[in-house]
Structure 1
Amino acid sequence: MFDYKLNPIMKKIQFLAPLMALVLGVSSCDKGFDTLNVNPTAATSLNPAFLFNNALINSTYPGSTLIFEHPIVQQLFTPNSGIVAGGNFNIDNRGPTGANAALWQRYYRDNIRYLVEVINQTKSDANRSNLYNMARLWKAYSFMVLTDTYGDIPYTEAGLGYIGSNVVPKYDTQESIYNDIIKELTEASAALDAAKPTEAGEVVYGGNIARWKRFGYSVMLRAGMRLSKVNPTLAQATVQKAVAGGVFQSNADNAVLRNDANYQNQVGVTLNSTEAANYYMTGYFVDYLKSTADPRLASIAVRYVGAKSGPEQTAARANRDPAVQKGMPLGFDNGTIGARATADGLASFYDYSQLDRTRMGKLAAPTYFVTYAQTQLLLAEAVVRNWTTGNAADYYNAGVRAHMQQLGDYDATSLVSDANIATYLTANPYTAAKGLEQINTQYWIASFLNGPEVFANFRRSGFPKLTPNPYPGKEIKGSFINRLSYPDSEISVNSAKVQEAITRQGPDNLDTRVWWDKQ
């Protein structure tokens, strides 16, 4: 019997032949096999306009501004400790979910990265030049919020984790950041062109190029005034450039995000959920508005008269009459505020005045970023400093009037009537001898609920003249918090670059001043 054995080559052919047939069969019977597992309805790329809108929506201020910014400037306050401790007791609030990190995460993580991608996608596309320049303007605005809050931050290398694989960006000095912000505002504002595609789908101005230009120059005015202490020469030049370019002309130009059931006001979310019964208007804020018979108090405040608990803060107890409003005094905590409330003739601390969360504090309340009222008040200060022409009193009156009219956007019942506006301005006229104090105190009121801006302008101007919070357990050495500390998450993942910034800027605490906050 013949014993047949395959040699090695024949063995390979015998093994490969069926496999090749299988492959050829699959190839011939299933054209398009390479796309078999591709979802035909999935997007392969995103329209950069959608990314831009995502950045705009993520620019709303987080509820954490109630923990630091608003208590620091003595507008809103809680006597409670724990996760809401911060500006109310002049202590830091660090940790994985610390309030010091919320604005960073909201703006740097959920805003800047989208803007950087929009700019990257549109910078060479002539048909998207307006979107490119809108993104540059909003990026400049957003970085102002971040650097004003923290000081030195990643800027030139920010948002490049995906584009350039840089996950440990360097920290730039605030001075260099402001220099580039002014450059970006100058170039992008001038480059906007209504004759080109206007991006009607964006959610702030609906592609209105004239208003985007005025936004750019109004942010430039704000940037210039921010430098009034540290570099008056550059401040004046920047202000003059902004005025020449053309700033906001009316409330119709306001940079505002109109929230709704899907995209809610984050401060409103906080005030209508876990912290509904915990935040109150401060005694200083209420007393100041009452002392000048300011009609805005009726638009802002509510007091649940006789309430002894959160559940007793019912609509039946709600009283919006300015005469009955009583702000909560500072210097007390949860253990001591009860006795003070009794001494003030109240049923409990739940009986103090609150921000009306059915109007200005509601879920769908608009978020204002830059306003005509703020812009007019800054122009009034620029006149006082001889940096621009005009009449300071006229700008002052226009700013106050604009903010009172702006309140009607929150709710029809919040609108201040023309008659009440006229009465207020007559009773509280602009006085040149107290010009800077009056202007910036009005800016404090006009920036209510814009936590980062009211905090920044208070540090820059020194007004209003607040008495330091007397709570005895403060961690700061000075009278007021000067900046927020860097997030723990940033320190853990980018420690070397953070340490470079700390070495250059000063200790990572609440006392260190940012560059423009010169003593």
Structure 2
Amino acid sequence: MKKVIYNILVATLVVAGFNGCTDNFEETNTNPRVLTEDFLVENPSVLGQAFAQSQYTSLNGLHWRFQISQNLFSDLWCQYYATTAVNFPSDRYTQVGRWADLAWSSFYGQAAPQIKLVEDLSEQAGEDALNAVAKIWRVHGYHRMTDYWGPVIYSSYGNVDFEQANITVPYDSQQDIYNDFFTTLDEAVSVLKANTSAAIFPSDDRVYGGDAAKWLRFANSLRLRLAMRIRYADPAKAQAEAEKAVADGVIESISDEAQVAVDGQNRNPLTTITNWGEFRMSAAMESVLKGYDDPRLPTYFSPAVSGDSDGDSNPYEGLLNGQTQVALGVSQNDLNSDVATRFLNDARGGSNPPLVVLRASEVAFLRAEGALVGWNMGGTEQDFYEEGIRLSMQENAAEGDVDAYIASTATPVPYAPGTDPLTDIPVAYDAGGSLERRLEQIITQKWLALYPNGWEAWAELRRTGYPRQYARSASDNPDVGIADVVRRMVFVSGEFTTNGPEVEKAIGLLSGADKNNTKVWWDKK
């Protein structure tokens, strides 16, 4: 009897506890480290259950996991939000160790075992289409992790012999990980092309309801995202992979975009953490959204409780990032804008929206950037830029004249009297401008369209330098100044304790010291 053994206790598989499709998961998974082929034959639904869980947990969907992994780091570092909590120093560029440890363990202790479980057992069961989708989801989950840290545990995950003493697990370089991503996507795409009509656990698939054809478009679109991510590190491979993705067919309509469905028990985490009153709209968001008279403003944020506080006759207010503890000692919550009603909890009128994975608007902006640098994206940079804006307006049900917005020469405004606008670029595409100016336009609108996906927005900020950022009020990090950008997360203390020799080797894979100002491999601009 063949056994599948995982290097991290699979007991964490059952933490999410989905309604309906996963109610019996903990009960059936009685041995957290061993699942047999016989068990799989007798309980085929375990694959679907783990599949559903992996989709939610790999996005850190549980509220506290989301907060410590995204909201307190990348959401602040890309300047979507600013912290209003006195004792939260991450907005002043401090990587709080216990939060980072939990962010790491949320993936490796919960999502990674589920992803591997589905991939391994679907292969054993001959479920080729599900195995292809599991590989795609592995790429998505791990690309988020390597984009945060650089080198991470990847190829050796799950391959450790528990009979060995002093177990350690090696890290892979980010370049090697990305190369494997593209190989893995090749394998998955090949299978899905031959199974486009397959129904892949439709009752459990929280993204596409088992639609193999849509998973194929997602795989190609994910390839395009990853190809653009390495544009400055490996231009030739980036172009080849991007053009391959477009030729195979990427997401073009809202009906095909990837979102993880939520429910009453497994909620969009924003609907919970907004109740804690620990963040508000950033000054950067205020400058851009107000300056552009952007129809998405009321779909992203709510008017400040105190109303107009800066004399511009507009009640939407943003807070400069990096406020000191003294400044935060006077409550900033009523003075600044919370998230829009749809992101609030039910009692406050919220709608519990799905967790966005990859939107049609993002794909359009990716194609705009590719066309900007001469890649064959199937259209012109300006057409894709304008299409990205249109799609984002539709995705957010924004009310307004989209054509007028696209043609607007309006520019960002000061977020408060005596301050400067974030930038001077208009919405209207400057076809005669420099390549860098046009790139800034594309990425600034992409930043707006990605909201509230700070994980992805922070990666794009590091990769391109856009959108421009306001210098923070203060930084507590000696390696990152107020006008600088955190380039990566440092390795977590728990790994130094349990996997120290391999972490030391991983540091040798970096371009510098294990610090927040050391760039990851693809950060080459």
Range class of TM-score, shorter chain: 0.7 to 0.9
Q: Deviations over 1:375-434 (max 9, x none)?
A: 000000000011114111111111111112112xxxxxxx213x4322211213212223
User: Who wins on radius of gyration, i.e. which is larger?
Assistant: 1
Residues 111/221 of structure 1: CA separation in 2 closer, same or farther (3 Å cut): same
Q: CA deviation at 1:119?
A: 1.4
Pairing partner for 1:416 from 398, 402, 410: 398
Alpha-carbon separation, structure 1, partners of 2:269 and 2:89: 18
Q: Could you say which residue in structure 1 is the equivalent of 2:451?
A: 448
**Residues 374 and 447, structure 1, Cα contact 8 Å, conserved in 2:** yes
Pairing partner for 2:250 from 247, 250, 259: 247
Q: CA deviation at 1:42?
A: 5.0
Q: One-letter code of the match for 1:358?
A: T
Pairing partner for 2:220 from 217, 220, 225: 217
Q: CA deviation at 1:106?
A: 2.7
Q: Could you say which residue in structure 2 is the equivalent of 1:298?
A: 298
Pairing partner for 2:374 from 386, 396, 401: 386
Q: Could you say which residue in structure 2 is the equivalent of 1:132?
A: 131
Q: Could you say which residue in structure 2 is the equivalent of 1:264?
A: 267
Alpha-carbon separation, structure 2, partners of 1:69 and 1:42: 37
- Other structure's SS at 2:259 match: strand
Q: Deviations over 1:353-386 (max 9, x none)?
A: 3333531344723210111110000000000011
**Residues 60 and 265, structure 1, Cα contact 8 Å, conserved in 2:** no
Q: Deviations over 1:62-83 (max 9, x none)?
A: 112121111111110114343x
Q: CA deviation at 1:462?
A: 0.9
Q: CA deviation at 1:484?
A: 1.0
Q: Could you say which residue in structure 2 is the equivalent of 1:157?
A: 156
Q: CA deviation at 1:195?
A: 4.5
Q: Could you say which residue in structure 2 is the equivalent of 1:328?
A: 319
Q: Could you say which residue in structure 2 is the equivalent of 1:354?
A: 337
Q: One-letter code of the match for 1:509?
A: K
Using the TM superposition, name which of 508-517 and 259-268 deviates more.
259-268
Residues 381/190 of structure 1: CA separation in 2 closer, same or farther (3 Å cut): same
- Other structure's SS at 1:335 match: helix
Q: Deviations over 1:195-225 (max 9, x none)?
A: 5453212111011111000000000000100
**Residues 108 and 146, structure 1, Cα contact 8 Å, conserved in 2:** no
- Other structure's SS at 1:140 match: helix
Matched, 1:63 2:63: no
Q: Could you say which residue in structure 2 is the equivalent of 1:400?
A: 389
Q: Deviations over 1:429-457 (max 9, x none)?
A: 21222321111011111111212111111
Alpha-carbon separation, structure 2, partners of 1:164 and 1:267: 42
Q: Could you say which residue in structure 2 is the equivalent of 1:146?
A: 145
More helix by share: 1
Matched, 1:52 2:40: no
Alpha-carbon separation, structure 2, partners of 1:114 and 1:271: 28
Alpha-carbon separation, structure 2, partners of 1:454 and 1:435: 18
Q: Could you say which residue in structure 2 is the equivalent of 1:200?
A: 202
Alpha-carbon separation, structure 1, partners of 2:367 and 2:403: 21
Q: One-letter code of the match for 2:270?
A: V
- Other structure's SS at 2:385 match: helix
Q: Which runs of 4+ in 1 moved over 6 A?
A: 162-166
Residues 361/459 of structure 1: CA separation in 2 closer, same or farther (3 Å cut): farther
Q: CA deviation at 1:283?
A: 1.2
Matched, 1:186 2:186: yes
Please list, as runs of the form range in 1=range in 2, the aligned pairs for 1:354-503 lying within 5 A after superposition: 354-356=337-339, 358-362=341-345, 364-388=352-376, 389-407=378-396, 415-417=397-399, 419-427=400-408, 428-432=427-431, 433=433, 434-478=437-481, 479-503=484-508
**Residues 150 and 483, structure 1, Cα contact 8 Å, conserved in 2:** yes
Matched, 1:85 2:67: no
Structure 2, unmatched stretches of 5+, are 1-26, 30-38, 61-65, 347-351, 409-426
- Other structure's SS at 2:302 match: strand
Pairing partner for 1:233 from 228, 231, 236: 236
**Residues 156 and 170, structure 2, Cα contact 8 Å, conserved in 1:** yes
Give me the TM-score of the superposition, normalised by structure 2. Answer: 0.79
Q: Deviations over 1:106-126 (max 9, x none)?
A: 323211211112111122433
Give me the TM-score of the superposition, normalised by structure 1. Answer: 0.80
Alpha-carbon separation, structure 2, partners of 1:471 and 1:119: 45
- Other structure's SS at 1:504 match: coil
Q: Deviations over 1:467-487 (max 9, x none)?
A: 332415333245111111222
Alpha-carbon separation, structure 2, partners of 1:470 and 1:58: 34
Q: Could you say which residue in structure 2 is the equivalent of 1:75?
A: 80
Q: How many pairs were matched up?
A: 442
Q: One-letter code of the match for 1:484?
A: M
**Residues 85 and 328, structure 2, Cα contact 8 Å, conserved in 1:** no
Alpha-carbon separation, structure 1, partners of 2:298 and 2:74: 23
Alpha-carbon separation, structure 2, partners of 1:300 and 1:384: 29
Q: One-letter code of the match for 1:48?
A: L
Q: Could you say which residue in structure 1 is the equivalent of 2:114?
A: 114
Alpha-carbon separation, structure 2, partners of 1:286 and 1:114: 40
Q: Could you say which residue in structure 1 is the equivalent of 2:520?
A: 514
Alpha-carbon separation, structure 1, partners of 2:514 and 2:271: 30
What is the aligned-residue identity percentage?
27
- Other structure's SS at 2:325 match: coil
Q: Could you say which residue in structure 2 is the equivalent of 1:36?
A: none
Residues 207/322 of structure 1: CA separation in 2 closer, same or farther (3 Å cut): farther
Structure 1, unmatched stretches of 5+, are 1-40, 308-316, 340-347, 408-414
* CA root-mean-square deviation: 2.4
**Residues 130 and 199, structure 1, Cα contact 8 Å, conserved in 2:** no
Alpha-carbon separation, structure 1, partners of 2:353 and 2:103: 19
